[in-house]
Amino acid sequence: MSGGLFSGLSVVIPMKSDEDPQWVADLIATARHECNEMVLVLESRADITAIRPALGSFGEKTRLIFQTGSGKSDALNRGLMEAKNVHVVFLDADVALEVGQLTAVLDMLQDPEDPAEFVSVSYGMRAPQISPSAFCSGWFFGAKRSTFIELGGWSEGFVEDVKTGRKIAASGHTIRVASFTCRLRRGVRRPGLKFLSVLESFMGHRQ
């Protein structure tokens, strides 16, 4: 242990009241072998009795907490502060997590020769060939917890990932992009918004 924290990985999953519990159960089933804890941050109006059964036997590593404010950035920051490990990964509930992806991000964060402080995972067919340094993937994002807290965590707003990426870039830190991509469970509407976030982040950084 170092500074009261474990050296492993915490996974933070924000969950809206109308989120599909099975998606979260699938996330936890995959993630539990590659992390030390999972922090499920629920909207204040979420029905916890409907969520617990979906966790099944995976609840031993999962902490359920309610966010005190509103909005996604509030949920993410609540998870950031509650996490007990040196490194943390934030996952949207609609990420179709695959075995080995969390370990790959943690390896980048713990690289003995050149550790990353922030790691973004793209979605789609392939990772970008040229990685914009301010690209912050709000759906799959890894960070060194202490550094992220020093920067104030997630910025507020509709495109909290874009604002957060710009803040990290302005601070002099670099966000590395993983060599693999993730898949999402939702239809075109949600990924479309995510694409616009990435595009706005890239264009804004070039200005």
Report which secondary-structure segment, H or E, holds 21. Answer: helix 21-31
pLDDT digits (tens, 9 = 90+) for 72-90: 999 999 999 999 999 999 9
> Could you tell me the CATH number of the domain that includes residue 52?
3.90.550.10
Give a yes or no: residue 46 inside a domain: yes
Tally the domains of the chain.
1
pLDDT digits (tens, 9 = 90+) for 43-57: 877 777 766 766 666
Report which secondary-structure segment, H or E, holds 77. Answer: helix 72-82
Report the predicted TM-score, pTM, of the whole model to 2 decimal places: 0.85
Q: What is the pLDDT of residue 168?
A: 95
Residue 117 has pLDDT above 90, yes or no: yes
Q: Indicate the burial class of 76 (C-beta count within 10 angstroms; 0-12, 13-18, 19 or more).
A: buried
Beta-sheet pairing, 95-96 with 175-184: antiparallel
Give a yes or no: residue 105 inside a domain: yes
Distance from C-alpha of 46 to C-alpha of 99, rounded to nearest angstrom: 28
Give a yes or no: residue 156 inside a domain: yes
Give a yes or no: residue 114 inside a domain: yes
Give a yes or no: residue 122 inside a domain: yes
Q: Indicate the burial class of 149 (C-beta count within 10 angstroms; 0-12, 13-18, 19 or more).
A: middle
Q: Which residue has the higher pLDDT, 198 or 153?
A: 153
pLDDT digits (tens, 9 = 90+) for 6-22: 568 999 999 888 888 88
Give a yes or no: residue 49 inside a domain: yes
Give a yes or no: residue 1 inside a domain: no
Give a yes or no: residue 158 inside a domain: yes
Q: Which domain holds residue 101?
A: 6-206
